[in-house]
Amino acid sequence: MTVVAEPGSPPFDAAKLDALLERAGVDAVLATSRHNVRYLLGGYEFFFFAHFTAIGVSGYLPCVVYAREQPESAFYVGNPMERLPLEREPLWIPSIDTSSWTTVGSARAAAAAVRRLGLGRGTIAVERSFLPDDAREALELELPGATFMEARPLLAELRAVKRPDELELLRRVADEIVLGMLAVIDSGLPGSTTSRLAEQIRVDQTVRGLASEYCLVAASPSRNRAPSSERWQSGGVSLDSGASLGGYIGDLARMGCIGDPTPRMEELLAEIAAVQDAGRAAVAPGRTGEEVYAAATACQAQCGDGALMTFVAHGMGLVSHEVPYLAESDTVPYSPDDRIRPFEPGMVLSIETDLYDDAVGYVKLEDTVVVTESGHEAYGDRGRGWNIAGTGGQSPTGG
Amino acid sequence: MTVVAEPGSPPFDAAKLDALLERAGVDAVLATSRHNVRYLLGGYEFFFFAHFTAIGVSGYLPCVVYAREQPESAFYVGNPMERLPLEREPLWIPSIDTSSWTTVGSARAAAAAVRRLGLGRGTIAVERSFLPDDAREALELELPGATFMEARPLLAELRAVKRPDELELLRRVADEIVLGMLAVIDSGLPGSTTSRLAEQIRVDQTVRGLASEYCLVAASPSRNRAPSSERWQSGGVSLDSGASLGGYIGDLARMGCIGDPTPRMEELLAEIAAVQDAGRAAVAPGRTGEEVYAAATACQAQCGDGALMTFVAHGMGLVSHEVPYLAESDTVPYSPDDRIRPFEPGMVLSIETDLYDDAVGYVKLEDTVVVTESGHEAYGDRGRGWNIAGTGGQSPTGG
C-alpha cells in the first residue's frame, strides 16, 4: 500500500547530500541502516522494531530512497503496522509503501520506486553493512541494469555537522547520563556486584526517558569492565555508559569511590583529567584531530603514569564512532583524512582517556565535546573528580 | 585473536541439528542473527551490542560456525571487547576469534574457520536476511569453492520445541508483563496520553529486569495503537506489549477500564475471551494448528460480533513469530505444512483475538499457550477481564 500526502521539506541538508551524490557519481541512495533511515526521516523510527528486527520468516527492513536533486520524489518503505501511525503523523516524505513484512519485500518496493524515478539503469548507493544478502539479491534482480556502490561514506559525511536540534538531544542525553551515574554512585552500597550497578544504571536511564544501551563497569582493582559477579567492596569504580535519546548517543565515563580516595587515586585521576583537558583545549573551528591528539599525547608524556594511558577521540552522533574518524587504534578503523580535516562548528567528539593500575584498578574519563563557533563546549561536564558514595553528590572532588 | 579452552557440550539438541543439516545436504551452518547466535551459544549475547550494532565504518556481526557432527569444532566470531569477559566466563565453544570490528572482518574469520574444518568446497548454510551484503561477498571471496544456501528453516526448526530452561524464561517474562500491565492500569489517571502509558510500561518492565521491546496502546474509542498524544479519558484501554528475558519474548494483551465497563464492553470482551478459550482448548500434543483455527473460528461464527474479529495464532520464542508458523494473513507468511503438523510438548504459541467497535474502541486479548505432555498451559494468565483503574487490582472482572 502506498500513501501519498503533500511533500514537505527535507529535514537534512539536501543540497549537501546532492553535492555528495554528484561528486560520487550516484543517482540515488538507498538507506537501510537504523541510523541513516532515522536521519533521513528527521528523527522518525518505527517504535515497534526499535529493539529487534526479526519477525516471521525474515525481518524488518525500512528503506529510504533518495534520488539526487529530487527530494520531492523521496520514498519510504516501511512495515504494514506503520500505515496507521504514518497517516496520523505523516513523514516529510509523501510517498510510502507499507506492504511488506520481509527484507526481500522491502527491497522490491525500493526497486520499484527506483524504476518509477527512471533510474533503473542508474548508479545506486546502498549500505552494504546494513543491507541483508537476500535484499541485495532482490535489488539486483529487480534492477538488472543498475550499478551498485557503497553509500556509507556519503551518508556518514552528510551527518558530520550536527544541527541545533541534534545538539540539543546530544546535550540532554549527556546531562542525563552523568546525573544518573552520580545518583547511582551516591546510592552505592559496599558489596554491590558490578552487574547490579549496571542494572541500576539501566533502570535510572530508562526512568529518565533514555534508551539505555550498555554500561561498562569495573570495580577496583579489577580490569574487567563487563558487568559480572565481581563486587565493589572498597576503593574506586569506573562507570562508562552509553544511552540514547531520539537515537543520539551519549557515551561518558565517570569515577566513584567508597570513602575518601587515596592520594594515589587522586593523582591518577588528576593525570587522566589533565590529558582530557589538554585534548579538549585543542578543539575549535579550523583545528584538527591531529592537533587534539598532539596536545593530549604531549600532556600524557609529562604524566608520571602516562605510559599506562590510552587516549582516544572520535566523532559521535547517531553512531558511537562516526565522522570525524580520529581514533588511532588497531580495532576501530580511522581515516587519515579526517585527522587533518579542519573541525567545523556542530561537529561532536567523544574524548576518552583511561589507564589500568594494579593497585587502584581501572580509571577513566570520557567526555562529550562539541565544536562551537568560538571554540568548544562540553556536555554533561560534571562529576569529573572522584564522586564519593553516600555524600548526596557533595563530594569534595566531584566537581 | 583466537582463544581456545576446553570444549563443552552443546546447550542445544546437536543430534537434531545434525539431522536437519544432513537432510538438507549442508556441511556447516553460519548463524549471524541475534536470535540464532544466542540460541547456539546457550543464551549468551554480548551486552554491549544488545541494542545497536553500528559502530565506526561498519557494524557488529557475531557468527557461530557449526559443522555437521563436529560440535567439538564449533567456532565463535565476536568483537575485541568480548575477549576479556569470555576469558572469565567461557562459552561452551572453545575456539573463538575476537579480532574484528567490522562485518567483513567477522566474515573473514568465519571463512577461515570453515577452511580449517576442510569445508572450503562444502555446502554452507547462511542466514540471508541477517547476513550483510559485504559480509556475504567476503565469504564468497574467501570460500570460492563453497556452495551457499539459506539456513533459516533449519535453525527455525531447531528452536521449535523449547527446553525446560527456555520455558521457564517464557513463563517469567509472561508473568511479569501481565503484572506490569495490571499495575500500570491500576495507577491509570484519566487523561493520560497513550504515549505516557507506553512509557509507564517501558519503565515498569525495565524495573522488573525485562528488556522492554514495545507497547501498542489504544485508548477508547480510537483504533490507533501507536503511542501518541491521544488521551485515555474514559472507557477502555488496550495494552499489547512485548518484552524479553534472556532473549525470550513475552507478547500479551490485556484490557483496562476507567470506572465500570458497560454491558456492551463486557459483552465484547467476553466474546473475545470465548474465541481465545476455544482456540487454546484445541492445543495438545498431536493436535494441529488447523484444529486450533477451526475451533476458534467456529466459536467466532457463533459470536454476535464475530464478523468484527480477527483470530491469529503463531509460534513464539526468541522471535515473535516463529515455528510453528500458523498465522493466516496477507502479511506474516505462514507455512501450510506447519498448519497440519502435530503439536509437540514444549512448543509455544501466542494466541490473539481482536476487534474494533466504533463505540467501544479496540478490544484484544493475547495469551501465551504452551503445549504440555497432557494438554496445554497458559503463562501470565491473569487479568483477562476488564481491569479497572484505581482498584488495587481487585477488579470484579479482572480474573
CA distance B92 to B139: 25
Other CB atoms within a 10 A radius of the CB of residue B259 amount to 12
Q: What is the pLDDT of residue B333?
A: 57
Q: Judge contact between A47 and B240, C-beta under 8 A.
A: no
3-state helix/strand/coil string of chain B:
CEEECCCCCCCCCHHHHHHHHHHHCCCEEEECCHHHHHHHCCCCCCHHHCCCCEECCEECCCEEEEECCCHHHCEEECCHHHHHHHHHCCCCCCEEECCCCCHHHHHHHHHHHHHHCCCCCCEEEECHHHCEHHHHHHHHHHCCCCEEEECHHHHHHHCCCCCHHHHHHHHHHHHHHHHHHHHHHHCCCCCEEHHHHHHHHHHHHHHCCCEEEEEEEEECCCCCCCCCCCEECCEEEEEEEEEEECCEEEEEEEEEEECCCCHHHHHHHHHHHHHHHHHHHCCCCCCCHHHHHHHHHHHHHHCCCHHHCEEEEEECCCCCCECCCCCCCCCCCCCHHHHCCCCCCCCEEEEEEEEEECCCEEEEEEEEEEECCCCEEEECCCCCCEEECCCCCCCCCCC
What is the DSSP pairing of strand B75-77 with strand B95-97? parallel
The three cell numbers locating residue A28: 540515488
User: Where does the pLDDT of residue B334 fall: very low under 50, low under 70, confident under 90, or very high at 90 and above?
Assistant: low
- Using CA atoms, how far apart are residues A29 and A39, in angstroms rounded to an integer? 13
Q: Does B59 sit within 8 Å of A211, measured CB to CB?
A: no
Q: Is this structure's pTM higher than 0.90? A: yes
**DSSP-derived 3-state class of residue A11:** coil
**pLDDT-derived band of residue A110, with 50, 70 and 90 as boundaries?**
very high
Query: Cβ–Cβ of B225/A130 closer than 8 Å?
Result: no
pLDDT, residue A391, reads: 85
* Residue A345 to residues A287, A303, A320, B338, Cα–Cα distance (Å): 11, 31, 19, 58
Q: Is the pLDDT of residue B297 over 50?
A: yes
A235 half-sphere exposure, CB direction, 13 A CA radius:
18
Cell 587515596 belongs to A262
Q: Which of B57, B130, B213 sits opposite A333 (nearest CB)?
A: B57
> What average pLDDT does the structure give for chain B?
94
Out of B89, B223, B319, name the one closest to residue A54 (CB): B319
What pLDDT, in 10s, does the model give residues A362-384?
A: 999 999 999 999 999 999 999 99
What proportion of chain A, given as a percentage, has pLDDT over 70?
Answer: 94
User: For A33, which DSSP code?
Assistant: S
Residues, chain B, total? 399
pLDDT band at A330 (very low <50, low <70, confident <90, very high): very low
* Sign of the Cα pseudo-torsion (B293, B295, B296, B299, in order): positive
| Nearest-10 crossing angle of helices B133-142, A133-142 | 100
Q: Kindly determine whether residue B129 and residue A55, on different chains, have CB atoms separated by under 8 Å.
A: no
Per-residue confidence (pLDDT) for residue B328, from 0 to 100:
67
DSSP A183: H
Q: Is A1 on the interface with B (CB under 8 A)?
A: no
* B42 alpha carbon, distance to own chain's centre: 16
**Contacting residues of A for B226, CB less than 8 Å apart:** 47, 84-85, 88
Residue A326 pLDDT more than 70? Answer: yes
Per CB-CB distance under 8 Å, the chain A contacts of B322 are 56
pLDDT attached to residue B217: 97
- CB-CB under 8 Å, B130 with A321: no
Quick check: A129 and B59 CB within 8 A?
Answer: yes
Give the containing element (helix H, strand E) for A269. helix A263-281
User: CB-CB: which of A51, A56, A202 is closest to B321?
Assistant: A56
Q: pLDDT tens digits for B241-290?
A: 999 999 999 999 999 999 999 999 999 999 999 999 999 999 999 999 99
Interface of A with B in 51-110 (CB under 8 A): 51-52, 54-59, 80, 84-85, 88-89, 101-104
Among A104, A206, A223, beta carbon nearest to B206 = A206
Q: What is the ipTM of this complex?
A: 0.94
Cell of B176: 511479569
Residues within 8 A of B (CB atoms), A 193-222 only = 199, 202-203, 206-207, 209, 211-214, 216
pLDDT 10s digits, B309-329:
999 999 999 999 999 998 866
Identify the weakest region by mean pLDDT among A48-62, A147-161, B270-284, B373-387.
A48-62
Task: State mean pLDDT over A105-127.
Answer: 98
Q: For the sheet with B95-97, list strands across it.
A: B2-4, B95-97, B75-77, B63-67, B28-31, B123-126, B147-150
B89 pLDDT higher than 50: yes
Look at residue A52 in the predicted model and tell me its pLDDT. Answer: 87
Question: Which pLDDT value is given to residue A3?
Answer: 52
Note which residues in 320-359 of chain A have CB less than 8 A from chain B: 320-322, 325, 327, 331-333
What is the pLDDT confidence band of residue A205, given thresholds at 50, 70 and 90? very high
Q: Kindly indicate the confidence band of residue B330, based on its pLDDT and cuts at 50, 70 and 90.
A: very low
Write out the three cell numbers for A144: 538488472
Q: Which three cell numbers stand for residue A242?
A: 552509553
| Percentage above 90 pLDDT, chain B | 86
Q: Beta-carbon neighbour count of residue A304 at 10 Å?
A: 9
Sign of the CA dihedral with A158 first, then A213, B82, and B30 last: negative
**What are the backbone dihedrals phi and psi of residue A347, each rounded to the nearest 5 degrees, phi first?**
-75, 150
What pLDDT band is residue A327 in, cutting at 50, 70 and 90? confident
Q: Mapping DSSP to helix (H, G, I), strand (E, B) and coil, where does residue A275 land? A: helix
| CA A281 from centroid of its chain's CA atoms | 23
Q: Which residue has the cell 473460528?
A: B297
| Mean pLDDT score of chain A | 94
Residue B202 CA to residue B217 CA, distance in Å, equals 12
Paired residues of B241 in beta bridges: B215, B252
